[in-house]
Each structure stands twice: as structure tokens, then as C-alpha cells.
């Protein structure tokens, strides 16, 4: 699933509501062309997860998502036997007087008693096109999982003792995201193409608002984006991402605001700033100063 050109991919993404600047479109273009995993790092809410979802959508491919967290293990990422169903089956066989013997054991360890988790689903996918595998927020998983992933990314096979080795016919397209709460290992990075998604430029963010909040007037979106861009220069505990810009626009629209005003800002700061200290710092004089600057 490659594209004729980077422009082509960029346009297709834009048509699906995802604004990718040229460098990001290039990274994705190359990942598809070279069939390499794409590791996306960046601050929260800059569109890392969304690009994987959009890619699956524009190519009509299945999206398989593995949300990472601490303590992720085989049972939650690859497979687990469905013990309840196995127990019921044993009871049933017992009632029929046929619970014992090798055949019965083999039967309860057959695929129908297997609960397939995302990585196994990705390997076993049989659709016309290989799926898009989104390994989201890898930095939250522990290092053992990363080591396991490393292996998987190189040979695309998984061994299940009772069933044997399962191998992917066509490896999925892999997008890995990280919020960089810790560094991803060099060994994993080496297998991936890497791209850092920064906060968007003013122009890019305006395009995103136009794509995602078409109800906002040109004036409102211009002022909102300019305000958020200024806010990102303030020394805050948590800077607003694109997600916050979109939420804020939605909040302002819900209040029928056609443009930014001090009152509207103070009423809706909670849509862009999520820490009390940040809100206290911005509310009042600072908000007024930024408003003056962006509406001058």
C-alpha cells in the first residue's frame, strides 16, 4: 500500500481530515514504501494516534490497536486460553463420560478456546490487505515488552506451545507512538523510522481547526489558534496540544462565541489548561495581554 508520491499521500490524508506537513507525510510515505515500522514521538495531543487511525481508514485496512501500560504481558498482548470455556467443555465431556484421554485434552487447546489479543490478531489477520498495527504509548510498557516487540518486529512469528508457531503471511504496517516519559531503546529505534511530531505551526494548526471544526468562523479559528500558539510560549506546567485547541474551539462554539473576548476566555480556560496553577497563571492580566496581541 504505497503512494505515487509524497504529495499524493499528503492530499489523501488531508481529504480524510488529517493535516500532515511535508516532513511528516514523507516519514509515513517512507515507512510504507520501505515496509518499516514508524516510531512517532511528540508531546500529548499532537496527532500521533490519529495518523494511524487515519491511515487505516484511507486504505480500508483493519486497525489493530495495542494500548500499552505497565505490566503488559503475554496474556494481554498475544493470547490467553479461555479457561471458563475450557472448564465448561471439560464438565460437558465428563457428563458424557468422555473427559479423559489425549483427544479431549487436544480439543480444549484448539484455536476455538483461544482468546486472541492484538499482536496475535495482527499476525493472523487474513483480510485482503494487512492490518495497521498501532502500538500506542510504548513508553508506558516495561522494557521486557520492548524486548519482546523487537523480536516480533523482525520475524513476525509467535509460538504457542499447544498449537505451534504462527507466522504472519504479510506483516502489518506498524505505527508505534511514544510520549517520551522514558527513552525507547536504541535497538527498537534502529528497526524503525523515527519522526518527532512537534506542536504545529500557526498555518498547520489553522488547517487542522478548519478540518476538524468546520463550524468555526475564520475569525474565531484564527484568534483561537494564535492565542494557543502564544500560550505555548508561556512557562506552563502542561502546554496545550492540538486536542486542546480543538476542544477549546468546540467550547467557544457551544457558547456561540464568534470571536475571542476576555469573558469567553475566562469562562472556557478549562478546555485548554488542565492544571489549576496554569489556569491561575493565565486568567486575568496574562490572558488579556495575549488577547491584545493576537487581536491587534
- Contact positions toward ligand ATP, by CB under 6 A? 17-19, 42, 44-50, 177, 179, 208, 211-212, 242-243, 246
Instruction: Tell the residue number behind the cell numbers 478456546, with chain if given.
Output: 113
Question: In terms of Cα–Cα distance, which of 76, 72, 66 is closest to 145?
Answer: 72
Scanning 43-51, 80-88, 156-164, 232-240 for contacts with Mg ion by CB under 5 A, the matching segment is: 43-51
For residues 18 and 195, which CB has a smaller minimum distance to ligand ATP in the complex? 18
Beta bridge partners of 158: 166
Among 19, 24, 49, 148, binds Mg ion (CB under 5 A): 49
221 touches Mg ion (CB under 5 A): no
For residues 108 and 205, which CB has a smaller minimum distance to ligand ATP in the complex? 205
> From ligand ATP, Mg ion, none, which one binds at residue 208 (CB under 5 to 8 Å depending on kind)?
ligand ATP
> From ligand ATP, Mg ion, none, which one binds at residue 224 (CB under 5 to 8 Å depending on kind)?
none
> From Mg ion, ligand ATP, none, which one binds at residue 229 (CB under 5 to 8 Å depending on kind)?
none
CB of 27 to ligand ATP, least distance (A): 13
Scanning 46-54, 71-79, 147-155, 164-172 for contacts with Mg ion by CB under 5 A, the matching segment is: 46-54
Using CA atoms, how far apart are residues 76 and 73, in angstroms rounded to an integer? 5
Instruction: Strands of 105-191 (E only): list them.
Output: 114-116, 132-136, 157-160, 164-167, 173-178
**Grid cell for residue 55:** 491511515
Q: Which residue is nearest to ligand ATP (CB)?
A: 47
CB of 239 to Mg ion, least distance (A): 16
CB of 65 to Mg ion, least distance (A): 10
Using CA atoms, how far apart are residues 290 and 229, in angstroms rounded to an integer? 10
What distance, in Å, lies between the first and last C-alpha atoms of the chain?
47
Question: In terms of Cα–Cα distance, which of 139, 141, 168 is closest to 156?
Answer: 168
For residues 20 and 291, which CB has a smaller minimum distance to ligand ATP in the complex? 20
For residues 10 and 291, which CB has a smaller minimum distance to ligand ATP in the complex? 10
CB 212 within 8 A of CB 17: yes
3-state secondary structure 52-105: HHHHHHHCCCCEEEEECCCCCCHHHHCEEECHHHHHHHHHHHHHCCCCCCHHHH
Q: Which residue is nearest to Mg ion (CB)?
A: 49
Using CA atoms, how far apart are residues 262 and 153, in angstroms rounded to an integer? 52
Using CA atoms, how far apart are residues 270 and 92, in angstroms rounded to an integer? 57
> From ligand ATP, Mg ion, none, which one binds at residue 117 (CB under 5 to 8 Å depending on kind)?
none
For residues 49 and 213, which CB has a smaller minimum distance to Mg ion in the complex? 49
For residues 78 and 134, which CB has a smaller minimum distance to ligand ATP in the complex? 134
Instruction: Tell the residue number behind the cell numbers 514523507, with chain if given.
Output: 26
For residues 171 and 241, which CB has a smaller minimum distance to Mg ion in the complex? 241
The binding site for Mg ion (CB under 5 A) comprises 49
Amino acid at each position: 500500500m504505497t503512494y505515487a508520491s509524497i504529495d499524493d499521500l499528503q492530499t489523501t490524508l488531508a481529504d480524510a481530515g488529517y493535516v500532515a506537513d511535508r516532513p511528516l507525510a514523507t516519514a509515513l510515505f517512507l515507512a510504507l514504501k520501505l515496509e518499516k515500522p514508524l516510531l512517532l514521538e511528540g508531546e500529548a495531543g499532537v496527532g500521533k494516534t490519529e495518523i494511524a487511525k487515519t491511515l487505516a481508514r484511507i486504505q480500508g485496512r483493519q486497525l489493530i490497536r495495542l494500548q500499552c501500560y505497565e505490566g503488559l504481558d503475554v496474556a494481554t498482548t498475544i493470547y490467553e486460553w479461555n479457561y471458563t470455556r475450557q472448564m465448561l467443555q471439560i464438565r460437558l465431556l465428563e457428563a458424557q463420560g468422555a473427559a479423559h484421554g489425549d483427544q479431549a485434552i487436544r480439543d480444549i487447546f484448539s484455536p476455538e478456546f483461544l482468546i486472541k489479543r492484538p499482536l496475535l490478531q495482527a499476525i493472523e489477520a487474513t483480510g485482503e490487505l494487512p492490518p495497521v498495527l498501532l502500538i500506542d504509548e510504548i513508553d508506558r510498557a516495561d522494557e521486557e515488552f520492548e524486548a519482546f516487540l523487537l523480536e516480533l518486529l523482525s520475524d513476525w512469528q509467535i509460538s504457542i506451545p499447544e498449537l505451534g508457531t504462527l507466522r504472519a503471511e504479510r506483516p502489518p504496517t506498524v505505527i508505534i507512538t511514544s510520549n517520551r516519559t522514558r527513552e525507547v531503546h536504541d535497538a527498537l529505534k534502529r528497526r524503525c523510522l523515527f519522526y518527532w511530531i512537534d506542536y504545529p505551526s500557526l498555518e498547520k494548526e489553522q488547517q487542522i481547526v478548519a478540518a476538524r471544526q468546520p463550524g468555526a468562523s475564520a475569525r474565531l479559528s484564527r484568534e483561537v489558534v494564535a492565542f494557543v500558539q502564544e500560550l505555548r510560549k508561556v512557562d506552563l506546567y502542561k502546554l496545550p496540544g492540538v486536542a486542546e485547541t480543538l476542544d477549546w474551539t468546540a467550547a467557544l462554539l457551544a457558547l456561540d462565541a464568534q470571536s475571542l473576548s476576555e469573558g469567553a476566555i475566562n469562562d472556557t480556560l478549562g478546555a485548554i489548561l488542565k492544571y489549576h496553577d496554569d489556569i491561575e497563571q493565565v486568567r486575568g492580566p496574562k490572558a488579556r495581554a495575549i488577547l491584545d496581541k493576537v487581536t491587534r
